[in-house]
Amino acid sequence: MSGTHINGGCCFDYGNSETDDHDDGCGTMEAIYFGNAHWHGNTGLVTDPENEGPWAGADLEQGMYYGGGEKTQVNNGSKPLPHEFVSLYLRGSTNGFTLKGGDATVGTLDTQYDGPRPDAKIAGTCGKTGKYQPMRKMGAIILATGGDNSNSAMGKFYEGYMTKGATTDKTDAAVQANIVAAKYVNPHFPGYKN
């Protein structure tokens, strides 16, 4: 994705979503969210209050999260990714999730979060009985909208992949190396040479 063409709207997502274009409750999605939304005040690391994010997040329905557990609202481990080309990764597991991100033109992926799913009490969503664990994923695939068809976000998506089951850190590193080897460039940037 692009880290230079974002906003805080809902929801620039890619991943698993509801099959009916409705908000079917907490835990019915597991999609990468990319932007600088502050759902119920949540945030990643703020290094520049005038130009926050963008951060790698997880849209799990009724919220875009940069962390979970005690880091549901503020995750200072979620670093801004303002690169022209950004690699993002979301891995769901039985008891939590992992977010990774990095520059898609150089380097490796950094783990932005690895831990439990959001705490619904901290998040301020899901009502009295709702929760994010266990997940109730439905299997549709979305791109650039929320699961309830929310479309006020903006972004640029270049390519993506999905796997059945969870990948390993070794596989994630190999995919990032392959992306870097593709040598993404913007021909409109100064210094571009064909």
Residue of 24, 52, 61, 119 marked active site: 61
Given a contact cutoff of 8 angstroms between Cβ atoms, the answer to whether 27 and 169 are in contact is no
For the question of residue 148 being annotated catalytic, the response is: yes
Taking residue 74's Cβ as centre, other Cβ atoms within 10 Å add up to 17
Taking a C-beta distance cutoff of 8 angstroms, is the pair 87, 112 a contact? Answer: no
Tell me the CA distances in angstroms from 1 to 72, 74, 127, 129, one per residue in order. Answer: 24, 23, 33, 35
List the catalytic residue out of 18, 24, 103, 148.
148
159 is catalytic: no
Peptide bond into 134 cis (omega under 30): yes
CA separation (Å) from 39 to 49, 114, 123?
Answer: 17, 20, 8
Active site residues: 61, 148
